[in-house]
Copies of this chain bind each other. A is one copy, B any other.
Protein backbone atom coordinates (compact mmCIF):
# COMPACT_ATOMS: atom_id res chain seq x y z
CA UNK A 1 0.00 0.00 0.00
CA UNK A 2 1.29 3.36 -1.03
CA UNK A 3 0.55 6.69 0.54
CA UNK A 4 -0.61 9.04 -2.18
CA UNK A 5 1.16 12.37 -2.28
CA UNK A 6 -0.96 15.01 -3.87
CA UNK A 7 -0.08 18.63 -4.05
CA UNK A 8 -1.87 20.93 -6.41
CA UNK A 9 1.31 22.97 -6.58
CA UNK A 10 -0.30 25.35 -8.98
CA UNK A 11 -3.54 26.00 -7.12
CA UNK A 12 -4.59 29.64 -6.71
CA UNK A 13 -4.98 30.90 -3.15
CA UNK A 14 -8.20 32.85 -2.91
CA UNK A 15 -10.02 34.99 -0.36
CA UNK A 16 -13.76 35.51 -0.55
CA UNK A 17 -15.30 38.83 0.51
CA UNK A 18 -19.02 38.57 1.15
CA UNK A 19 -20.78 35.40 2.29
CA UNK A 20 -24.31 36.13 1.13
CA UNK A 21 -26.19 34.03 -1.38
CA UNK A 22 -23.88 34.64 -4.31
CA UNK A 23 -20.78 34.46 -2.11
CA UNK A 24 -21.74 31.05 -0.77
CA UNK A 25 -22.43 29.91 -4.33
CA UNK A 26 -18.89 30.82 -5.37
CA UNK A 27 -17.53 29.28 -2.16
CA UNK A 28 -19.17 25.98 -3.04
CA UNK A 29 -17.79 26.00 -6.55
CA UNK A 30 -14.31 27.07 -5.50
CA UNK A 31 -14.08 24.31 -2.92
CA UNK A 32 -15.69 21.44 -4.84
CA UNK A 33 -15.75 22.08 -8.56
CA UNK A 34 -12.49 23.92 -9.29
CA UNK A 35 -9.50 21.80 -8.22
CA UNK A 36 -6.98 24.50 -9.13
CA UNK A 37 -8.52 26.93 -6.63
CA UNK A 38 -7.78 26.99 -2.93
CA UNK A 39 -10.22 29.10 -0.94
CA UNK A 40 -8.44 29.88 2.31
CA UNK A 41 -10.37 32.73 3.89
CA UNK A 42 -13.87 34.18 3.87
CA UNK A 43 -14.88 37.64 5.15
CA UNK A 44 -18.32 39.04 5.89
CA UNK A 45 -19.46 42.05 7.90
CA UNK A 46 -21.72 39.60 9.68
CA UNK A 47 -19.13 37.55 11.50
CA UNK A 48 -21.49 34.65 11.98
CA UNK A 49 -22.18 34.48 8.24
CA UNK A 50 -18.46 34.26 7.54
CA UNK A 51 -18.02 31.58 10.19
CA UNK A 52 -20.88 29.44 8.93
CA UNK A 53 -19.69 29.70 5.35
CA UNK A 54 -16.21 28.64 6.44
CA UNK A 55 -17.57 25.60 8.22
CA UNK A 56 -19.90 24.61 5.45
CA UNK A 57 -17.22 24.66 2.78
CA UNK A 58 -14.20 23.77 4.90
CA UNK A 59 -12.53 27.13 4.42
CA UNK A 60 -9.59 27.41 6.87
CA UNK A 61 -10.17 31.00 8.07
CA UNK A 62 -13.10 33.34 8.53
CA UNK A 63 -13.14 37.02 9.43
CA UNK A 64 -15.42 39.99 9.85
CA UNK A 65 -12.95 42.44 8.35
CA UNK A 66 -12.11 42.05 4.67
CA UNK A 67 -8.80 43.78 5.28
CA UNK A 68 -7.64 40.52 6.84
CA UNK A 69 -8.11 38.99 3.40
CA UNK A 70 -6.26 41.79 1.66
CA UNK A 71 -3.43 41.62 4.20
CA UNK A 72 -2.97 37.84 4.02
CA UNK A 73 0.34 37.31 2.23
CA UNK A 74 -0.61 33.91 0.72
CA UNK A 75 -3.82 35.12 -0.87
CA UNK A 76 -3.26 35.87 -4.54
CA UNK A 77 -6.78 36.72 -5.59
CA UNK A 78 -10.03 37.95 -4.09
CA UNK A 79 -13.62 37.25 -5.04
CA UNK A 80 -15.81 40.25 -4.19
CA UNK A 81 -19.44 39.39 -3.42
CA UNK A 82 -20.22 42.10 -0.88
CA UNK A 83 -23.01 44.62 -1.39
CA UNK A 84 -22.80 46.70 -4.56
CA UNK A 85 -22.00 49.97 -2.79
CA UNK A 86 -18.73 48.48 -1.47
CA UNK A 87 -17.45 46.99 -4.75
CA UNK A 88 -15.52 49.98 -6.06
CA UNK A 89 -13.79 50.71 -2.76
CA UNK A 90 -12.75 47.09 -2.23
CA UNK A 91 -11.54 46.77 -5.82
CA UNK A 92 -9.33 49.79 -5.25
CA UNK A 93 -7.88 48.47 -2.00
CA UNK A 94 -7.43 44.96 -3.38
CA UNK A 95 -5.60 46.35 -6.40
CA UNK A 96 -3.36 48.36 -4.13
CA UNK A 97 -2.70 45.17 -2.15
CA UNK A 98 -1.64 43.48 -5.38
CA UNK A 99 -4.46 40.96 -5.43
CA UNK A 100 -6.13 39.78 -8.61
CA UNK A 101 -9.85 40.49 -8.51
CA UNK A 102 -13.07 38.82 -9.44
CA UNK A 103 -15.97 41.19 -8.71
CA UNK A 104 -19.69 40.65 -8.97
CA UNK A 105 -21.60 43.05 -11.20
CA UNK A 106 -22.17 45.96 -11.15
CA UNK A 107 -18.87 47.61 -10.25
CA UNK A 108 -20.82 50.62 -9.01
CA UNK A 109 -23.97 52.55 -9.80
CA UNK A 110 -22.09 55.67 -10.92
CA UNK A 111 -19.38 56.16 -13.52
CA UNK A 112 -17.00 58.11 -11.30
CA UNK A 113 -16.64 55.29 -8.79
CA UNK A 114 -16.19 52.81 -11.60
CA UNK A 115 -13.48 54.86 -13.27
CA UNK A 116 -11.60 55.36 -10.02
CA UNK A 117 -11.67 51.60 -9.40
CA UNK A 118 -10.58 50.76 -12.93
CA UNK A 119 -7.74 53.27 -12.67
CA UNK A 120 -6.50 51.60 -9.50
CA UNK A 121 -6.62 48.22 -11.22
CA UNK A 122 -4.68 49.51 -14.19
CA UNK A 123 -2.03 51.17 -12.05
CA UNK A 124 -1.57 48.02 -9.99
CA UNK A 125 -1.38 45.79 -13.04
CA UNK A 126 -3.64 43.18 -11.47
CA UNK A 127 -6.35 41.27 -13.27
CA UNK A 128 -10.01 42.21 -12.86
CA UNK A 129 -12.88 40.02 -14.04
CA UNK A 130 -16.52 41.11 -13.73
CA UNK A 131 -19.20 38.54 -12.86
CA UNK A 132 -21.28 38.51 -16.03
CA UNK A 133 -21.83 34.79 -15.72
CA UNK A 134 -24.29 34.43 -18.59
CA UNK A 135 -21.43 34.74 -21.06
CA UNK A 136 -20.37 31.29 -19.85
CA UNK A 137 -23.78 29.69 -20.27
CA UNK A 138 -23.92 26.98 -22.96
CA UNK A 139 -26.91 28.56 -24.74
CA UNK A 140 -25.45 32.04 -25.11
CA UNK A 141 -22.06 30.61 -25.99
CA UNK A 142 -23.67 28.60 -28.78
CA UNK A 143 -25.29 31.76 -30.13
CA UNK A 144 -21.99 33.63 -30.02
CA UNK A 145 -20.29 30.69 -31.69
CA UNK A 146 -22.87 30.74 -34.49
CA UNK A 147 -22.10 34.42 -35.06
CA UNK A 148 -18.36 33.83 -35.04
CA UNK A 149 -18.58 30.87 -37.41
CA UNK A 150 -20.91 32.76 -39.73
CA UNK A 151 -23.62 30.13 -39.37
CA UNK A 152 -26.31 32.81 -39.65
CA UNK A 153 -24.34 35.32 -41.72
CA UNK A 154 -24.02 38.94 -40.61
CA UNK A 155 -26.23 39.88 -37.60
CA UNK A 156 -29.30 42.03 -38.35
CA UNK A 157 -31.56 41.90 -35.29
CA UNK A 158 -31.31 40.69 -31.72
CA UNK A 159 -34.20 39.97 -29.37
CA UNK A 160 -33.57 39.20 -25.72
CA UNK A 161 -36.27 37.91 -23.39
CA UNK A 162 -35.27 38.15 -19.74
CA UNK A 163 -37.85 37.79 -17.03
CA UNK A 164 -37.65 36.95 -13.36
CA UNK A 165 -40.04 34.55 -11.64
CA UNK A 166 -40.77 37.06 -8.89
CA UNK A 167 -39.79 40.62 -8.05
CA UNK A 168 -37.19 41.10 -5.29
CA UNK A 169 -38.32 42.66 -1.99
CA UNK A 170 -39.40 46.30 -2.28
CA UNK A 171 -36.52 47.10 0.10
CA UNK A 172 -34.05 45.77 -2.42
CA UNK A 173 -35.73 47.54 -5.34
CA UNK A 174 -35.45 50.84 -3.52
CA UNK A 175 -31.66 50.42 -3.19
CA UNK A 176 -30.89 48.69 -6.46
CA UNK A 177 -30.64 51.71 -8.71
CA UNK A 178 -33.72 50.56 -10.60
CA UNK A 179 -34.51 47.77 -13.04
CA UNK A 180 -31.96 48.83 -15.65
CA UNK A 181 -29.00 48.74 -13.24
CA UNK A 182 -30.20 45.72 -11.34
CA UNK A 183 -31.76 43.44 -13.93
CA UNK A 184 -31.32 44.70 -17.50
CA UNK A 185 -27.60 45.13 -16.89
CA UNK A 186 -27.12 41.40 -17.56
CA UNK A 187 -28.97 41.76 -20.86
CA UNK A 188 -26.94 44.82 -21.85
CA UNK A 189 -23.84 42.72 -21.34
CA UNK A 190 -25.20 39.76 -23.30
CA UNK A 191 -26.23 42.05 -26.15
CA UNK A 192 -22.67 43.36 -26.51
CA UNK A 193 -21.26 39.86 -26.13
CA UNK A 194 -23.49 38.25 -28.75
CA UNK A 195 -23.21 40.95 -31.39
CA UNK A 196 -19.55 41.76 -30.74
CA UNK A 197 -20.28 45.41 -31.37
CA UNK A 198 -21.10 48.49 -29.29
CA UNK A 199 -24.51 50.04 -28.77
CA UNK A 200 -24.68 53.73 -29.63
CA UNK A 201 -28.21 54.58 -28.56
CA UNK A 202 -31.02 53.20 -26.44
CA UNK A 203 -34.73 53.88 -26.12
CA UNK A 204 -36.65 52.67 -23.09
CA UNK A 205 -40.35 52.10 -22.55
CA UNK A 206 -41.73 50.91 -19.26
CA UNK A 207 -44.87 50.30 -17.24
CA UNK A 208 -45.80 49.27 -13.76
CA UNK A 209 -47.99 46.32 -14.68
CA UNK A 210 -47.34 43.83 -11.94
CA UNK A 211 -47.24 45.55 -8.59
CA UNK A 212 -48.09 49.18 -7.75
CA UNK A 213 -45.69 48.98 -4.79
CA UNK A 214 -42.86 48.77 -7.31
CA UNK A 215 -44.09 51.98 -8.87
CA UNK A 216 -44.37 53.56 -5.44
CA UNK A 217 -40.74 52.65 -4.84
CA UNK A 218 -39.83 54.65 -7.94
CA UNK A 219 -39.20 51.72 -10.23
CA UNK A 220 -40.98 49.86 -13.06
CA UNK A 221 -41.60 46.14 -13.56
CA UNK A 222 -42.19 45.80 -17.29
CA UNK A 223 -39.83 47.30 -19.84
CA UNK A 224 -38.69 47.14 -23.40
CA UNK A 225 -35.34 48.69 -24.21
CA UNK A 226 -34.42 48.99 -27.87
CA UNK A 227 -30.77 49.12 -28.85
CA UNK A 228 -29.12 50.68 -31.85
CA UNK A 229 -25.71 49.15 -32.51
CA UNK A 230 -23.02 51.04 -34.40
CA UNK A 231 -23.06 48.40 -37.14
CA UNK A 232 -26.77 48.87 -37.84
CA UNK A 233 -28.04 45.93 -35.81
CA UNK A 234 -31.28 46.67 -33.96
CA UNK A 235 -31.91 44.98 -30.63
CA UNK A 236 -34.69 44.68 -28.10
CA UNK A 237 -34.62 43.60 -24.49
CA UNK A 238 -37.92 42.48 -22.98
CA UNK A 239 -37.81 42.51 -19.18
CA UNK A 240 -40.40 41.67 -16.61
CA UNK A 241 -39.90 41.33 -12.89
CA UNK A 242 -42.64 38.69 -12.75
CA UNK A 243 -43.24 35.82 -15.13
CA UNK A 244 -45.83 33.49 -13.61
CA UNK A 245 -44.16 30.45 -15.17
CA UNK A 246 -40.74 31.22 -13.77
CA UNK A 247 -37.37 32.33 -15.06
CA UNK A 248 -37.53 33.16 -18.76
CA UNK A 249 -34.15 33.53 -20.41
CA UNK A 250 -34.16 33.36 -24.17
CA UNK A 251 -32.56 35.07 -27.10
CA UNK A 252 -33.09 35.23 -30.84
CA UNK A 253 -30.67 36.56 -33.38
CA UNK A 254 -31.53 37.12 -37.03
CA UNK A 255 -28.69 37.31 -39.52
CA UNK A 256 -28.31 37.66 -43.25
CA UNK A 257 -28.12 33.87 -43.69
CA UNK A 258 -30.46 32.62 -40.97
CA UNK A 259 -31.45 32.90 -37.35
CA UNK A 260 -30.53 31.26 -34.08
CA UNK A 261 -32.73 31.09 -31.02
CA UNK A 262 -32.49 29.52 -27.60
CA UNK A 263 -35.11 28.09 -25.31
CA UNK A 264 -35.29 27.93 -21.53
CA UNK A 265 -33.68 25.05 -19.63
CA UNK A 266 -35.74 22.43 -17.85
CA UNK A 267 -35.11 19.96 -15.07
CA UNK A 268 -36.37 17.11 -17.23
CA UNK A 269 -37.60 16.46 -20.77
CA UNK A 270 -40.79 14.60 -19.87
CA UNK A 271 -43.97 15.53 -21.74
CA UNK A 272 -47.33 14.45 -20.39
CA UNK A 273 -50.35 14.10 -22.66
CA UNK A 274 -53.70 13.64 -20.99
CA UNK A 275 -57.30 14.56 -21.64
CA UNK A 276 -56.55 18.26 -21.19
CA UNK A 277 -53.26 19.14 -22.78
CA UNK A 278 -49.79 18.15 -23.87
CA UNK A 279 -47.56 19.64 -21.22
CA UNK A 280 -44.23 19.71 -19.46
CA UNK A 281 -42.98 20.94 -16.11
CA UNK A 282 -41.96 24.58 -15.70
CA UNK A 283 -38.44 25.76 -16.64
CA UNK A 284 -35.66 25.87 -14.04
CA UNK A 285 -36.97 28.34 -11.53
CA UNK A 286 -34.33 31.00 -11.01
CA UNK A 287 -30.75 31.96 -11.64
CA UNK A 288 -29.13 29.58 -9.18
CA UNK A 289 -30.77 26.57 -10.84
CA UNK A 290 -30.64 27.94 -14.37
CA UNK A 291 -27.12 29.31 -14.45
CA UNK A 292 -25.25 27.09 -12.00
CA UNK A 293 -22.88 25.69 -14.61
CA UNK A 294 -22.09 29.16 -15.94
CA UNK A 295 -21.08 30.29 -12.45
CA UNK A 296 -18.66 27.38 -12.22
CA UNK A 297 -17.25 28.06 -15.66
CA UNK A 298 -16.76 31.80 -15.13
CA UNK A 299 -14.88 31.20 -11.89
CA UNK A 300 -12.75 28.45 -13.43
CA UNK A 301 -11.97 30.87 -16.26
CA UNK A 302 -10.85 33.52 -13.77
CA UNK A 303 -8.65 31.07 -11.87
CA UNK A 304 -7.19 29.93 -15.16
CA UNK A 305 -6.51 33.45 -16.39
CA UNK A 306 -4.60 34.30 -13.22
CA UNK A 307 -2.68 31.04 -13.04
CA UNK A 308 -1.72 31.10 -16.71
CA UNK A 309 -1.37 34.85 -17.00
CA UNK A 310 -3.82 35.11 -19.87
CA UNK A 311 -6.41 37.86 -20.37
CA UNK A 312 -9.61 37.61 -18.34
CA UNK A 313 -12.71 36.93 -20.49
CA UNK A 314 -14.82 39.75 -18.97
CA UNK A 315 -12.87 42.94 -18.34
CA UNK A 316 -13.39 46.03 -16.24
CA UNK A 317 -14.36 47.79 -19.45
CA UNK A 318 -17.02 45.14 -19.96
CA UNK A 319 -18.26 45.98 -16.50
CA UNK A 320 -18.33 49.71 -17.21
CA UNK A 321 -20.28 49.83 -20.49
CA UNK A 322 -23.49 48.15 -19.26
CA UNK A 323 -23.68 50.72 -16.47
CA UNK A 324 -23.57 53.46 -19.07
CA UNK A 325 -26.30 51.68 -21.01
CA UNK A 326 -28.41 51.42 -17.86
CA UNK A 327 -27.96 55.10 -17.09
CA UNK A 328 -28.90 55.95 -20.68
CA UNK A 329 -31.99 53.73 -20.50
CA UNK A 330 -33.04 55.46 -17.32
CA UNK A 331 -32.55 58.88 -18.91
CA UNK A 332 -34.52 57.72 -21.96
CA UNK A 333 -37.40 56.73 -19.73
CA UNK A 334 -37.36 60.06 -17.89
CA UNK A 335 -37.00 62.22 -21.01
CA UNK A 336 -39.07 59.98 -23.28
CA UNK A 337 -36.63 60.06 -26.18
CA UNK A 338 -33.82 57.92 -27.58
CA UNK A 339 -30.54 58.60 -25.76
CA UNK A 340 -27.11 58.27 -27.38
CA UNK A 341 -24.64 56.67 -24.97
CA UNK A 342 -22.34 59.60 -25.68
CA UNK A 343 -24.67 61.76 -23.59
CA UNK A 344 -23.81 59.73 -20.51
CA UNK A 345 -20.03 59.74 -20.58
Chain A residues proximal to chain B, CB less than 8 Å:
1-6, 32-33, 35, 41, 51, 54-55, 58-63, 68, 138-139, 141-143, 146, 151-154, 156-157, 159, 161, 163, 203, 205-210, 222-224, 226, 228, 232-234, 236, 238, 240, 242-245, 248, 252, 254-265, 267-283, 336-338
**Top 6 A-B pairs, shortest CB-CB distance:** A258-B274, A279-B279, A4-B54, A245-B273, A263-B269, A277-B279
B270–A262 CB distance below 8 A: yes
- Whether A272 contacts B203 in the complex (CB less than 8 A), given A4-B60, A254-B243, comes out as no
CB neighbours of A4 from chain B (8 A): 51, 54-55, 58-62
> Chain A interface mostly helix, strand, loop or mixed?
mixed
The CA of A142 and the CA of B55, in the complex, are separated in Å by 34
- Whether A240 contacts B151 in the complex (CB less than 8 A), given A54-B6, A268-B139, comes out as no
B256–A210 CB distance below 8 A: yes
- Whether A245 contacts B222 in the complex (CB less than 8 A), given A240-B254, A337-B337, comes out as no
The CA of A20 and the CA of B268, in the complex, are separated in Å by 30
A62–B277 CB distance below 8 A: no
CB neighbours of A60 from chain B (8 A): 3-4
Q: Which listed residue (B207, B252, B265, B268) contacts A262, Cβ 8 A?
A: B268
Copies in the complex: 4
B143–A270 CB distance below 8 A: yes
CB neighbours of A205 from chain B (8 A): 203, 226, 228, 234
CB neighbours of A63 from chain B (8 A): 1-2
The CA of A203 and the CA of B206, in the complex, are separated in Å by 13
Instruction: Give A258's nearest chain B residue, CB to CB.
Output: B274
Q: List 13 A-B contacts (CB under 8 A).
A: A1-B41, A1-B68, A6-B59, A141-B268, A207-B234, A209-B256, A224-B226, A236-B236, A243-B254, A248-B273, A257-B275, A261-B271, A278-B283
Instruction: Give A251's nearest chain B residue, CB to CB.
Output: B270
Q: Which listed residue (B154, B232, B274, B336) contacts A245, Cβ 8 A?
A: B274
B234–A138 CB distance below 8 A: no
- Whether A277 contacts B268 in the complex (CB less than 8 A), given A157-B240, A234-B206, comes out as no
The CA of A337 and the CA of B339, in the complex, are separated in Å by 10
B262–A157 CB distance below 8 A: no
CB neighbours of A33 from chain B (8 A): 32
CB neighbours of A234 from chain B (8 A): 205-207, 222-224
CB distance from A157 to the nearest CB of B (A): 6
Q: Which listed residue (B2, B58, B260) contacts A61, Cβ 8 A?
A: B2
